């Protein structure tokens, strides 16, 4: 230690010895008397005083130590820094008409993790954390007739989400048929996304589960901290999957790992029983999102609308010869798709953001289910399904 070297030097000089073969002048010429006295006092102190002196307490207004801030250059601070995990929970509360309920306070909410009540640490109404949205469009052959309506509705959704409130939201565009492709990476430019949407073409098979799995693993997991962002997939599909390498459960599991909520819009045709509807509903329920079926109710059943429902008047059940893709029917179809996307956007823009520190602080990699209850009757609550208690990555 430096203290011991100083003490040795003091004894050497005090004894009248010299340095460099005894050629150095006597000690009283090298050091003033006061300095010699100070060195003597220092030498008499126990070494433990220097080794175990506690850190000074921070003054008022100074940043607390051990909060994860980097040490100053040259610092020898080797204290272990511990991250206190806060689970961020975006919550949608809707009334019977599907409109957001925006007049609730923190006392109206109860958050449960694996069935155990948690203490809410923060409650935010505005500003909400930014959104990271994956817009996934089915471009398989079976949706070819729907593509023009999907494109128009998707373009409007993109402008709504990126221009509202000067947001910091980002959207990426992904398509799927037999394979999945990210057509446009995360961007805040609606014009760029609109150009990519307009250029889409239909063709190929269907791999819905692969599309969800890939979007969550490759995009959402790398989009930023889930404590500071809201992760959402918006998928337009008929729910049919015939070519995925990943299973339905694997897609759900990856959505849970990425803490991503999935909203789905069915694009099946009017008047037909679509087995994919059950898949869409299950995907939404198990990830905390919602499924919308804008074409479940027929536009009309007379010639004025240009459409007759399935099962009517023989060949017209297939919408042949009635201009089903033109005129008022087409306008209504676009409106309903746009309304579904608008409902999702309105919900995301009027959420609550809650945060809690888990009572179970073990970082054991287990999945923790989240449930949120609201002290108001007749409302619907949606939030992410849960999270994995994993260590923070460096």
Chain segment 104-141, per-residue pLDDT in tens: 999 999 999 999 999 999 999 888 999 999 999 999 98
Rounded to an integer, the average pLDDT of 200-213 is 92
Q: H or E stretch including 44?
A: helix 33-44
pLDDT digits (tens, 9 = 90+) for 227-269: 899 999 999 999 999 999 999 999 999 999 999 999 999 987 6
**Residue 189 CB partners (closer than 8 Å, separation 6+):** 162
Which fold would CATH assign to domain 131-349?
Rossmann fold (3.40.50)
Q: What pLDDT shows up at residue 272?
A: 61
Q: DSSP readout, 173-242?
A: EEEESSSEEEEEEEES-HHHHHHHHHT----S---HHHHHHHIIIIIGGGS--TTT-EEEEEEEE----S
- Give the length of the chain: 394
User: What is the 8-class DSSP label of residue 90?
Assistant: E
Q: Which residues contact 335 (CB under 8 A, 6 or more apart)?
A: none
Domain boundaries, the chain: 2-51, 87-126+353-388, 131-349
Whether pLDDT at 77 is above 60? no
Phi/psi for 145 (5° steps) reads: -65, -20
User: Does 149 score more than 70 pLDDT?
Assistant: yes
Structure tokens at 283: 């995907």
**Cβ atoms < 10 Å from Cβ of 6:** 14
Say if pTM beats, i.e. exceeds, 0.85: no
Measured CA to CA, the distance from residue 82 to residue 263 in angstroms comes to 36
d(CA 25, CA 210): 84
């Amino acid at each position: 230690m430096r203290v011991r070297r100083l003490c040795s030097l003091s004894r050497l000089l005090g004894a009248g010895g010299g340095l460099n073969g005894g050629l150095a002048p006597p000690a009283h010429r090298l050091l003033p008397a006061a300095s010699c006295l100070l060195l003597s006092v220092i030498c008499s102190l126990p070494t433990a005083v220097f080794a175990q002196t506690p850190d000074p307490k921070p003054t008022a207004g100074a940043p607390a130590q051990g909060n994860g801030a980097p040490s100053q250059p040259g610092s020898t601070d080797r204290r272990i820094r511990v991250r206190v995990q806060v689970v961020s929970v975006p919550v949608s509360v809707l009334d019977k008409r599907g409109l957001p309920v925006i007049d609730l306070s923190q006392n109206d909410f109860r958050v449960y993790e694996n069935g155990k009540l948690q203490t809410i640490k923060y409650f935010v109404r505005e500003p909400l954390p930014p959104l990271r949205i994956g817009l996934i469009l089915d471009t398989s052959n079976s949706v070819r007739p729907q593509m023009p309506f999907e494109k128009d509705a998707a373009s409007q959704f993109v402008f709504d989400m990126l221009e509202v409130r000067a947001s910091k939201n980002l959207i990426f565009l992904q398509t799927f048929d037999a394979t999945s492709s990210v057509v446009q990476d995360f961007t805040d430019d609606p014009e760029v996304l609109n150009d990519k949407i307009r250029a889409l073409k239909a063709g190929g098979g269907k791999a819905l589960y692969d599309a969800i799995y890939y979007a969550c693993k490759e995009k959402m997991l790398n989009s930023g901290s889930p404590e500071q962002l809201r992760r959402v997939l918006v998928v337009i599909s008929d729910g049919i999957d015939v070519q995925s390498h990943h299973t339905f459960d694997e897609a759900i599991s990856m959505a849970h790992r990425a803490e991503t909520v999935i909203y789905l819009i069915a694009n099946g045709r009017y008047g037909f029983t679509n087995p994919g509807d059950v898949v869409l509903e299950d995907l939404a329920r198990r990830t905390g999102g919602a499924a919308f079926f804008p074409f479940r109710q027929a536009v009309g059943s007379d010639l004025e609308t240009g459409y007759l429902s399935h099962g009517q008047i023989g060949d017209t059940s297939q919408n042949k010869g009635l201009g089903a893709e033109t005129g008022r029917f087409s306008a209504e179809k676009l409106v309903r798709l746009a309304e579904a996307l608008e409902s999702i956007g309105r919900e995301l823009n009027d959420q609550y953001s809650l945060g809690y520190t888990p009572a179970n602080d073990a970082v054991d990699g287990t999945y923790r289910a989240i449930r949120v209850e609201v002290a108001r009757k007749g409302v619907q609550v949606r939030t992410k399904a849960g999270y994995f208690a994993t260590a923070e990555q460096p």
